[in-house]
Structure 1
Amino acid sequence: MALAVQAAGALLSAAPVLVAAAATGFAADLALHRWRPDLAAVLGRLHAGTSVRQAVRDLLLLAGLIRIEEQDQESRYLALLCGLLLFHALHVLCQACALAVRRSRTLPVVTRNIDATALRLSSAPPALLTSRPEQRLLVFGLPSTAGMLTTAATGSAGWAAAGIAAAVLLAAVGTGMLLWRLLPSHRPVTGEQALQWMESWLAEYRPTVGMYFSGGRSSAYQANMWLDPLARLDGRPLIVLRERFMVHHIASTDVPVICLPKVADLMRLEHSTLKVLIHPSNSGRTSQVLRIPTIKHAFVNHGESDKLSSCNPYAKAYDEVWVAGPAARHRYALADVGVDDRDVREIGRPQLDGIRPAAGRPCGPYTTVLYAPTWEGWDADPGNTSVIAAGENIVRALLADPGVRLLYRPHPLTGTVDAGAAAADARIRQLIREARALRAAQHRGEPLALPEAAELALRTAELDRLTAPSCRRGADDVERMLVRTVPEPGRAAAVAAATAAWETAYWASIPAWEHRIVTGTRPDVYACFDVAHLLISDVSSVISDYLASGKPYAVANTGGLTEEDFRAAFPTVRAGAVLTPDARGIPDLLESVRHPGLDPFTDARAELGLHLLGPSSPPSTVRFGDAVRALCVRADEHRAGAAARTVPFIPAQREAGSALDNGTFQD
């Protein structure tokens, strides 16, 4: 629209219209890349990208100037036209250099928590030069646009000439910086040199156990929940990733991280000291690492529930399947998906060792309810998530109770498959925001918690400092470079302490009556467990994990089953209340939480917790370590057996008339 108005202004020689339309279009382009990159990408696919829009905008400005200024237009504006053409040519050259620089710096391995100074890597160029061409065009083209706008307003061509000259200078400097990076003396090591360095580091570090993970950004939580158990293992653990972007989505840890996107490079792990890899999730790239015969593989999953996905047939591809308790073992047996019971090992849930158990009924006037529904899943089963069919009813019923403080924590993948789930989630959030605003108005006369807010700000700044990337470069660039970081021993412990302090400050800063929508990485779901008096969820691993607290829970039944059939189909439900989509049982449920004598599931929860999570002694952390050591022994035995079975080939020499000619070997 702005370009159409600009064209009209140029044709009509209307300077105010021309200036206003061009300025509006340029500002809209900047805003588009800042707040709506998705729309900018769509325009690019329609061949109406930033380069095209900027070129059209510049040419329309120049055409308008020619029509507005009739005297000496041919000699005066020909130079400006040549200047604009030179600027756009330099932009193309700059982009070609950027691609060459990115290609030369794209190494086959990305690392974290490993001293890579031996590779003598230089700092990456600014992301504006290497990975943001459309923004670069707008930034470098700003002087020319501003100059021509000023000329249109004042009639002085000098402004346009100065602006175009400045734009050409910026483009030339940017191109020169990239060309300097392409000089042989400034190029980084080759890919083969980087891989040789990695192999040398592996030989020196001698890892024995690692975690393998592949997935998208939204699935990073599946790996992050295993970081602490992995870090507490004896020996020298390692994290193996496949996607470059995932390197910076792994939470703070002292464990070394290597990312090997190519299968051929991944196969080099066969010659390392790695004996065991644990797998929190299945992915298409998991089958690639399973080809390494010298490594034993254990599937640990990122959570257990009664859903079919918790006993996926893919699990039989692993050497062992590590589960929390007897329930999962029984689940695999019933599913009959090819997992041998001898390969199933119960290790508990090491992540839950720090969860505080129940401390009686709620203290104070407010009952904190955590509503943590799962997502819709891939199979469109209406029983997967309660968000669509029951979420709004559950939230309205909870908000109607003046003694409830609601924490809403939706699954990170909610709405990624079903647009109806995304819409329902948005409506639930709006209900909570309105209820929070209403309560804030009711408590307006209360003193502000300024000390608590100041403490939270202090703890947030400290935690952000500890968890910020250690290298100063753009995220787009980091995904393609071998990250030059020096390990900082004890950093993970410092982050854990800072996280605990932040969580304490976070909950202290929130009034006891305030409803909250909890998203993001902090506070995590386990921190919400500690402050909640009641959990409402769906059939998911959240229920199994929450049982470690011993506190009441309820499950939404949105699959159309009767309560009897629902409890029979999903054993994790048997120690909790069942909610129908209309949420009629919420008032009675809240009463049973506030008055433990009315709670009919106290004993059943303890029994179910033992069935799902296994015994509390020895702790899950100990059982996890025992499982790792036992599987390492199996790996050693396999390697020893393979070495014994390998007979060196000694070529036999042919002799005239020997028995070889008759098919027999001669002594």
Structure 2
Amino acid sequence: MTIRRLCGILRVRGTTDLLLVLLLGAGFAALPIFALLPSLWGFLAATAVTYVVDEILHVRAPNFVRRLAALHLDRTMRFAVRTVMLLALASRLRAPDAVLVAALAVFSAHFAMMMCYTAVHHAIRRRRILPLVVRNLDMSDLPVPPQPPALLYRRHLRKLLHLDLPAHAGLLVAAATGSASAAYSGFALTVMVTMAAVVALLAQYRRTRRMPDRAGVFAAVNRQLAAHRPEVALYFSFASVSRDFMYQVNMWIDTLEQLDLRPVIILRERASFRYLSRTRIPVVCVPKADDLAELELSAVRVVLYPGNAGKNVHMLRVAEAKHVFIGHGDSDKLASSNRVSKVYDEIWVAGRAGRDRYQRVRHAISDSAIVEVGRPQLAPIRLHADHTPGPLPVVLYAPTWEGWSDDDCHTSLIPMGVPLIEKLLAENVRIVYKPHPLTGKRSADAAAADRAIRELLRADNERRGASEAETAIAAARPQLKEIKARLDELAGRHRGDDAAQLRESRLPDHAAAAAWQELREEWHRVFWSSHGPLRHNVVVGQLPSLYDCFNEADMLISDVSSVVADFVASLKPYVLTNAQDLPDDAFRAAYTTAGGAYLLDRDCTRLPEILASIRAPHTDPMAASRRTLKEYVLGPDHPTSMERFKAAVRALAAKAEAERNQRTTDLAA
């Protein structure tokens, strides 16, 4: 427990990283000791340790490195400490005064040039930050200079600081051999290379002065939008945590691409833009509200909102369009029937359950404003009848997160997550553990439970003799990485800055959609086959997708969340955690999705009985309830969800157009 707590304080992942941190601290503690003794070889060893371990920790434990920076022990300070200790060692070893003066001058000049380089680098970055970024619009006519070479631009401080190595090595060689020429050679190399880097970056700065101004950027983007004339906009904002919430946008992309009307996606945070999935829809990222008002969106008739966020008001003020809250899943949580939704013209839900949920918010939401459109995203989920069981029952445990506050905390991780996994392991099942992306963001207890579950699964994999699976996973890793890189390329993702994103934006290649789908299917095939039919899996990140985990599982165990409502589409058995041990009738009355669920008490005493339903499907007493619940929660199978969604968009767009024409007529009269 002490080691785990220490790892949490230092923000490292495990014992190995903790040992590296201790080694780094020991190395820096040894530097002044060896400098004052003096001990040349001891100092050389301590310096090598600090250099090497520092670089390893940057890769293995970036959170620890950020913690050091917060304590004013950033990389620059650590390099400065090494330099000062080296000068102290040289002085104690009676180095000639001329060498010491030259060393002091060189190291001072190196730091001064480093400051100059950083200032120029920041100036270039500021000039290359644009008021908006786009994808899938042809911006080739906009004269945007290319991004500076990665050698000069990316991780510049890390590279510049290491340019002191020739000077360090030269001074150490001079101290060991007594030859001043080695020191002067190292000094000259450090100064010349650093100076060359500064001159090269200044040349890049001159190119950035040709960046188009704000008016020119908006004019070019608006010309493209005017040619596209988008009629439906998907609008999304979620502040600084956009990366974790981008699933709310990505789940709607396929649906938007099938609409009869022309769509556009509007994002408000740059972080969300980087994690957008592949799409052929034009995408515009506009961080500032004033800039949003300058976009050419006069043809937009319907605006769709997958999330409730404060910045939604910047789009809601557009009176000519109809505004619709579509959400990102049907959940029984209170947040899924928020009174704030009254600001929208309509609220689209999957089925009758969504309508009834909003009706519980008395005197807030009009029944006529609620439209049942189904869940078009659920098409990839395979039905229970089409599922082929493996040698072991596969249980997907997908707990929700701890919420923004204790009032909306539905996670089972804290009260029962660890004992649940322990009892599942005793039942000889295969576990796929997929925690919510935000797990542990607010609650340290949730983060601790998540770590404990991962450790339990890792230990059980070792007990089962999963070494063969580990070998297969290692063999498949390069192929998965290659496929992922190709997927990122097709998605239009790259590491360029705002200006590079705008410069590279082109009209989408429609043929790439088929290649994208084939690659995703190939990635999932390679992933599951390499992991084998017996190994437990911890699934994080965008791949494997949630719905692919649904297809892999025989049963879901989850909390009150939209994950359960989506899983209902498969008609497979599922379990809702009842961590408060409410009476069954009260729990089912409170949560709609409990109507077709097995209920699991906090002590998990019902677990063996529940697992019998997947071991002997003919004894599954909840099968009929799940079929009834599916239509209630997700709507009928015919007409299809996609047809209903498209019809709702067409009807609301026609209504918006009619009202706009009426206003024009009234003004003319």
User: Same fold judged by TM-score > 0.5?
Assistant: yes
Of 438, 452, 457 in structure 2, the residue corresponding to residue 432 of structure 1 is 457
Aligned partner (choices 513, 517, 522) of residue 543 of structure 2 = 522
Gaps of 5+ in 2: 1-24
Q: Does 1:599 align with 2:625?
A: no
Aligned: 1:17 with 2:42: yes
**Partner of residue 168 from structure 1, selected from 171, 180, 191:** 191
Offset, 1:226: 0.9
Give the C-alpha shift of residue 310 in structure 1.
Answer: 0.6
Shift of 1:498: 1.8
3-state SS of paired residue (1:211): strand
Distance 2:498 2:138 in 1: 16
- 1:659 maps to which residue? none
CA offsets, 1:459-483, max 9 Å, x none? 66335313237879646x3598535
C-alpha distance after superposition, 1:76-108 (max 9, x if no partner): 322222121111111111111011111111111
- Change beyond 3 A, Cα 1:34–1:173: farther
Q: Any idea what the Cα deviations from partners look like across 1:253-297, whole Å, max 9, x if unmatched?
A: 222211111111111236532222211112222222212223322
Aligned mates of 2:230, 2:649 — CA distance in 1: 13
Alignment-mate amino acid for residue 24 of structure 1: V
- 2:488 is matched with which residue? 467
Secondary structure at 1:440 match in 2: coil
Query: How far apart are the structure 2 equivalents of 1:485 and 1:181?
Result: 22
Specify which of 484, 489, 514 is matched with residue 504 of structure 2. Answer: 484
Give the whole-Å Cα distance in 2 for the aligned partners of 1:255 and 1:125.
29
Larger radius of gyration: 1
2:205 aligned to which of 182, 189, 204:
182
Pick from 567, 574, 591: which aligns with 1:570? 591
> Shift of the alpha carbon at 1:303?
1.1
Q: Is the 8 A contact 2:332 2:592 kept in 1?
A: yes
Match of 1:555 among 576, 586, 591: 576
Match of 1:660 in 2: none
Write out per-residue CA displacement over residues 97-122 of structure 1, whole angstroms, 9 at most, x where no aligned residue. 01111111111111222222111323
- Equivalent of 1:82, from 95, 105, 111? 105
Structure 1 Cα separation of the partners of residues 184 and 365 of structure 2: 75
Partner of 1:656: none
Are 1:106 and 2:129 counterparts?
yes
CA change 1:115–1:154 in 2 (3 A) is farther
CA pair 632-147 structure 1, distance change in 2 beyond 3 A = farther
Does residue 540 (structure 1) correspond to residue 561 (structure 2)? The answer is yes
> 1:613–1:457: structure 2 CA closer, same or farther, 3 Å change rule?
same
Distance 1:478 1:271 in 2: 22
Contact 2:337 2:361 in 1 (8 A): yes
Change (3 A) 1:25 1:492: same
How does 1:13-412 map onto structure 2 within 5 Å?
Answer: 13-70=38-95, 73-127=96-150, 129-130=152-153, 132-183=155-206, 187-215=210-238, 216-269=242-295, 271-336=297-362, 338-359=364-385, 363=389, 365-381=391-407, 384-402=410-428, 404-412=429-437
Confirm or deny that 1:635 pairs with 2:660.
no
SS class of match (2:556)? strand
Partner amino acid for 1:141? D
Change (3 A) 1:582 1:149: farther
2-structure distance, mates of 1:472, 1:311: 35
Q: CA deviation at 1:382?
A: 8.6
**Cα distance 1:638–1:178, how it changes in 2: closer, same or farther (>3 A)?**
farther
In structure 1, C-alpha distance between the alignment counterparts of 2:56 and 2:363, rounded to whole Å:
52
Match of 1:504 among 525, 535, 540: 525
Gaps of 5+ in 1: 649-667
Deviations 1:296-335 (A, max 9, x none): 2211111111110111122112221111001111111112
Task: Report the alpha carbon displacement of residue 438 of structure 1 after superposing the two structures with TM.
Answer: 1.9
CA-CA distance at 1:597 after TM superposition:
3.0
| Alpha-carbon distance change, 98 to 11 in structure 1, aligned in 2, over 3 angstroms | same
CA-based RMSD: 2.7
Q: Does 1:416 align with 2:441?
A: yes
Q: 2: CA distance between counterparts of 1:325 and 1:418?
A: 33
Q: Take 2:212 and 2:668, find their aligned partners in 1: how far apart are those partners?
A: 39
Alpha-carbon distance change, 142 to 630 in structure 1, aligned in 2, over 3 angstroms: farther
- Correspondence for 1:531 among 552, 556, 562: 552
8 Å Cα contact 1:536-1:554 kept in structure 2: yes
- Distance in structure 1 (CA, Å) of the matches to 2:493 and 2:422: 46
Cα offset, 1:629, TM superposition: 1.3
Contact 2:279/2:491, CA 8 A, preserved across alignment: no
Tell me which amino acid in the other structure corresponds to 1:14. S
Which segment is superposed worse, 215-224 or 379-388? 379-388
Contact in 2 for aligned 1:208/1:276 (Cα 8 Å): yes
Q: Rate the CA distance shift 1:448–1:315 in 2: closer, same or farther, 3 A.
A: closer
SS at match of 1:7: helix
Residue 587, structure 1, aligned to residue 608, structure 2: yes
Q: Distance in 1 between matches of 2:513 and 2:502?
A: 21
Change (3 A) 1:270 1:316: farther
Calculate the TM-score normalised by the size of structure 1.
0.89
- 1: CA distance between counterparts of 2:227 and 2:540? 41
Deviations 1:378-437 (A, max 9, x none): 2225960111111122212221123x2221111111111111111111111111112222
Compared CA separation, residues 456 and 606, structure 1 to 2 (3 A): farther
SS of 1:578's partner is strand
Q: Is the 8 A contact 2:30 2:43 kept in 1?
A: yes
Contact 1:247 1:479 in 2 (8 A): no
CA distance, structure 1, for counterparts of residue 224 and residue 462 of structure 2 = 56
The 8 Å contact of residues 376 and 384 in structure 1, kept in 2 or not, is answered as yes
1:624 pairs, out of 637, 645, 648, with 645
Between 326-335 and 556-565, report the one with greater CA deviation. 556-565
Structure 2 counterparts to residues 443-458 of structure 1, below 5 A? 458=479
Q: Structure 1's 482 and 427: CA in aligned 2 closer, same or farther, altered over 3 A?
A: same
Residue type matched to 2:443 in 1?
D
| Secondary structure, counterpart of 1:392 in structure 2 | helix
CA contact (8 A) 1:362 1:594 kept: no
Q: Distance in 1 between matches of 2:28 and 2:464?
A: 48
Separation (CA, whole Å) in 1 of partners of 2:549 and 2:514? 21
* CA distance 1:154–1:29, shift in 2 (3 Å): farther
Higher helix share: 2
Query: 1: CA distance between counterparts of 2:284 and 2:57?
Result: 35
User: For the residues of structure 1 that align with 2:178 and 2:319, how far apart are their CA atoms?
Assistant: 76
CA distance in 2: counterparts of 1:143 and 1:88, whole angstroms: 14
- State the AA in 1 paired with 2:201: L
Percent identity between the two aligned chains: 39
Cα distance in 1, alignment partners of residues 159 and 357 from structure 2 = 56
Alignment of 1:601-616 (within 5 A): 601-616=622-637
Alpha-carbon offset, residue 638 of structure 1: 3.4
Whether contact under 8 Å (1:325, 1:610) holds in the other structure is yes
Question: What amino acid sits opposite 2:423 in the alignment?
Answer: A
CA distance in 1, matches of 2:49, 2:203: 36
Task: Work out the number of aligned pairs and report it.
Answer: 640
